[in-house]
Structure 1
């Protein structure tokens, strides 16, 4: 019975039968659920003018949001698969993480620490091995389904990578670091 009343989180044709699921797969900003809002994370007031992305590596550099938008943009369709049990695919547009790493002079085998602008929280920082960081589908996303990211989905920039749980798709990204 529990399976039948929660399966609609991942198998959306059965979404009308959701009774006990924590989130509905179509409810949320930009028709995609969120489990932590920008307000709850303390990052609701980020403006395009003040945003900076720091890419810390052998050749550290900083980009404004306009500079990120001016870089080659790629679009991928990837799901967010939440540990709560729901999953939903979306179109994400942004800059390939591997391109940002190459500009910083990161070695091919480098691990990457993705740091959020939120000041606290269990998922403020995530780490990626080279298999994700160098994957051409891994983006620092600026857009979701053709629209600028909503603050609750990580505006101005968030990580989206294939085959990683939603909690590791860091929102409100402020730094990409290559730990020594």
Structure 2
């Protein structure tokens, strides 16, 4: 009988529901530490898009770094922009305008001018960013040919026939920046047509959609 009582006691103990854990409230310090850790993780994971040494953590970038013409991604090809023929035309020339004053430069003439090299990122609205090495003519030096002594704003026109960014505007602060280039080479190579050959704009701090490719005209505003 004693053994049976023990058995019944064991059965009751096994079938009894577990007691709920005591409710705990997170401290303010704990909450802030959790939020801070989350923010730091996002910064590290997204920073991999711009800094090579953080590339292994580049989980948020929709494009793989180093993939694309000249190891830089693109979001619009020359074929899609329908500029292949005009961009490859041997008669292409970049036109600078300021009222009735007009100056043109062939690609060969641009290459004959003093060249500047700058490491600048392409930052796309799709969410990716990649650093690259660009060489070309300082925009400020070119603008002096039609607006001596000034640092005006510009209207920039691409060879594209249509599209929301075929014509863009650039403020005087970008025009005057010594790192703003009419770029002719990318990563030490002749600019690929999908990156804007024969010449493109590259400026620090500008979104990729405003870094006009396949330049046609620069007009002082």
Alignment TM-score > 0.5, same fold: yes
Residue 69 of structure 2 contacts residue 192 of structure 2 at CA under 8 Å; is this kept in 1?
A: yes
Would the alpha carbon gap of residues 108 and 163 (structure 1) be closer, same or farther in structure 2, given more than 3 Å must change? Answer: same
More helix by percentage: 2
| Structure-2 residue corresponding to 1:124 | 166
Aligned positions of 1:99-138 closer than 5 A: 99-105=141-147, 108-138=150-180
| Structure-2 residue corresponding to 1:94 | 136
81-90 or 9-18, larger mean C-alpha shift: 9-18
Q: 1:56 aligns with which of 97, 116, 120?
A: 97
- Could you say what secondary structure the match of 1:77 adopts? strand
In terms of Rg, which structure is larger? Answer: 2
Q: 2:194 aligns with which of 147, 152, 158?
A: 152
Structure 2 segments unaligned to the other structure (5+ residues)? 1-37
Would the alpha carbon gap of residues 19 and 132 (structure 1) be closer, same or farther in structure 2, given more than 3 Å must change? Answer: closer
Would the alpha carbon gap of residues 48 and 144 (structure 1) be closer, same or farther in structure 2, given more than 3 Å must change? Answer: farther
Deviation of 1:172 after TM superposition, in Å, equals 0.3
More strand by percentage: 1
Deviation of 1:9 after TM superposition, in Å, equals 3.2
Deviation of 1:25 after TM superposition, in Å, equals 2.2
Separation in 1, partners of 2:55, 2:177: 32
CA RMSD of aligned residues (A): 2.3
| Structure-2 residue corresponding to 1:66 | 108
Separation in 2, partners of 1:123, 1:106: 28
Residue 15 of structure 1 contacts residue 24 of structure 1 at CA under 8 Å; is this kept in 2?
A: no
RCO comparison, higher one (Cα < 8 Å, 6+): 1
Deviations 1:105-142 (A, max 9, x none): 26624210111101111221221111001111100000
Residue 96 of structure 1 contacts residue 139 of structure 1 at CA under 8 Å; is this kept in 2?
A: yes
Separation in 1, partners of 2:204, 2:126: 18
Residue 54 of structure 1 contacts residue 174 of structure 1 at CA under 8 Å; is this kept in 2?
A: yes
- Could you say what secondary structure the match of 1:132 adopts? helix
Residue 83 of structure 1 contacts residue 165 of structure 1 at CA under 8 Å; is this kept in 2?
A: yes
Deviation of 1:160 after TM superposition, in Å, equals 0.4
Residue 81 of structure 1 contacts residue 88 of structure 1 at CA under 8 Å; is this kept in 2?
A: yes
Matched residues, number: 179
Separation in 2, partners of 1:97, 1:20: 33
Would the alpha carbon gap of residues 147 and 48 (structure 1) be closer, same or farther in structure 2, given more than 3 Å must change? Answer: farther
Residue 90 of structure 1 contacts residue 145 of structure 1 at CA under 8 Å; is this kept in 2?
A: yes
